[in-house]
Amino acid sequence: MTPTARHKKKPSIALLCTGALASLLCAAQAHAFSLDDVTARARALMEKPYVAPVSNLPPVFSSMQFADYQKMQPRTDRFEWRDQPTPFRLNFYHQGMQFNAPVRINEINGDAVQEIKYDPDRFDFGNLSFDKGATSTLGYAGFRVMYPINQPGKDDEIMSFLGASYFRVIGKGQVYGLSSRGLAIDTAPPGGEEFPNFREFWVQRPSGTDKQLVIYALLDSPRATGAYQFILQPGGKDAVVDVQANVFVRGDIKSLGVAPLTSMFLYGPNQQSELKRSFRPAIHDSNGLAIHTGANEWLWRPLNNPKNLAISTFSVDNPKGFGLLQRGREFSRFEDLRDRYDLRPSAWIEPQGNWGKGKVTLMEIPTPDETNDNIVAYWTPDAPTQRGQMLQFAYRMHWTTDEPALHGQDNAWVRQTFHTDGEQLQANLIRALDGSSAFLIDFEGPVLAKLPPGAPLSALVSVGDNAELLENSVQRNPAIKGARVQLRVKVKNPALPVEMRAALMQGDKALSETWSYQLPPNPPPAVAPAATPPLATPANTPAAPSTTAPAAPPAR
């Protein structure tokens, strides 16, 4: 080859793109960024040793209290896409507190991908006092998606990514409540839980006519990496998020939690408050776990705030749906004008395709107040999760306040559960406690509303070996066009749980979902050791296993 030929300038791609064959070549070389690109990064990351995120926070930010962290607010005149013909906007969370490692956020614009660089001028720091030079090496901790769902032209926050792999979504007229996560690893003891992080995001700039937003995320943890695609549809009343997850396993995992949800239950009618003189009848983001099995059975498990860690599992092959729901939205159920638990959404997971054999796990963790998320639910495959595997899951998330629309209309569902001390009506019409526990379960739904007034109903009930069933009665409840099941049970050993199930029947036909409830253990209080003798025998009271605290979900 001559020197002239060797140094001849190569034609650009633009010059090559002439003719049909050349156009196909160019299309292959200049493709738009997609989930495949994130998947390739996750696969490559899996083959490398895990590197934990490193804090880059100066003391003024790392030692912040939550009240000061809240002072760092995004400036509305610096929202991303504020000058674009789209109703979507982005703004960002500043680093601080436990959000101590920066998260890279990129924008996809056509075929171009560019990092959205950190800029402290995007934030109003309020009255915080610090050396402005302290922000020179910082970054973003996460981001929010804004969209006018409640009033035209007014930006509403509808989605938030902050902390580990946590995210939250709301629809029209809703306020933030429960959270979701990208993945849960070994959440249930023994052993400490592992919290994967979304370490990088790519957000596709929407056009002026787009009604959805596409977000990609790269997940990383000691035993898993993952590529995620989120397609957010704000819609009208509710929000829908379609999720595609490609997970690569770095190390063996005992319990892999798919589509995990995290919520809070402090107390409600099924577990009354131990708080003194509280005006609020109930405090919870969710009050039950709903499951639609692959066999087309519906289950409803009211939530508890137990005295000790409680873990329940439900075998569910190829689930059709599961979620943590907030059933019953009358304001009178909560009476809370500040926190508006009546407006907090339910999250329903609708799997796409067959997920195979597995189970839904519910964890209930003791909490003394509503600032702690103490409820976790997720699906776990039965097959071992082993190093080197690639797992794929797709599901649709419904963030909704229309819970009846999620349920099959061909059977009834539980409206509410009351748990109280059992009593009997005496001959003098005075009610006397009899040492039992009573449960009143209200069922409602079109199938009951259409029943003739005199149609006979019964309840199929099981209470397990640790209780005796004293009463099983059903009466119509005209106030809700439904029916009420009343149970009384005598617990044999209070230190052990009682598992109960009940379903409404008409003859041998089930008319309702299955109410599944666990009466938590209520062991006697521990007795303080006596001064003498010196070697007193301690009370045999089970202790709650410790749990590892996550990088916190978005603050309440």
What would the pLDDT profile of 408-465 be if each residue is shown by its tens digit?
888 999 999 999 998 887 777 788 888 899 999 999 999 999 999 889 999 999 999 9
Fold of the 413-519 domain: Immunoglobulin-like (2.60.40)
- Residues with Cβ < 8 Å from 14, sequence gap 6 or more? none
Domain with CATH 2.60.40.10 in the chain: 413-519
Name the least confident of 55-59, 127-131, 187-191, 528-532: 528-532
Domain with CATH 2.70.98.10 in the chain: 35-406
Please determine, for residue 87, whether its predicted confidence score (pLDDT) is greater than 90: yes
Please determine, for residue 30, whether its predicted confidence score (pLDDT) is greater than 70: no
Task: Write down the mean pLDDT value for the chain.
Answer: 88
**Residue 502 · residue 459 · CB < 8 Å:** yes
| pTM listed for this prediction | 0.88
In the sheet with 413-425, reading across from the earlier edge strand, the strands are 413-425, 431-444, 482-491, 467-477
Report the pLDDT value the prediction gives residue 133, as an integer from 0 to 100. Answer: 84
Q: Residue 20 has which token pair? A: 């049909």
Please determine, for residue 7, whether its predicted confidence score (pLDDT) is greater than 70: no
Residues 32-36: what's their mean pLDDT?
95
First to last CA, the chain: 70
- Residues with Cβ < 8 Å from 179, sequence gap 6 or more? 166, 167, 168, 261, 262, 263, 373, 553, 554
Fold of the 35-406 domain: Beta-galactosidase; Chain A, domain 5 (2.70.98)
**Residue 304 · residue 310 · CB < 8 Å:** yes
Residues 395-406: what's their mean pLDDT?
96
**Residue 512 · residue 527 · CB < 8 Å:** no
**Residue 300 · residue 414 · CB < 8 Å:** yes
**Residue 102 · residue 118 · CB < 8 Å:** yes
Residues 162-183: what's their mean pLDDT?
97
What pLDDT digit, counting tens, does each position of 8-25 carry? 333 333 333 334 434 433
